[in-house]
Amino acid sequence: MSTLDIEYANVEEAAETVFNILKDSIGVNTFFIAKNDGYTVDVLKAFNREKLLLEEGFQTEFNQSY
């Protein structure tokens, strides 16, 4: 069974699996999963390898994000 065949109960559970794969595959400090509704951006999951740049739970206005 491949990772793509697994069903997850929620986005947080899926994000944990994705992050475990990515942290060993790409050499960046920070990556994250966020949701936006066109008004706000909510960081659901964040990974910071060495320097803390972004935390889970961070929220900002959509027009202030990039």
Residue with tokens 């992050």: 19
Facing residues of 47 across strands?
31
pLDDT of residue 7: 86
pLDDT of residue 43: 94
* Environment class of 51 (CB within 10 Å of its CB; exposed 0-12, middle 13-18, buried 19+): exposed
pLDDT of residue 16: 87
Beta-carbon contacts of 42 under 8 Å, excluding residues fewer than 6 positions away, are 34, 35, 36, 57, 58, 59
Q: For residue range 6-56, list pLDDT tens digits in order.
A: 788 888 888 888 888 988 899 899 999 999 999 999 999 999 999 999 999
pLDDT of residue 61: 93
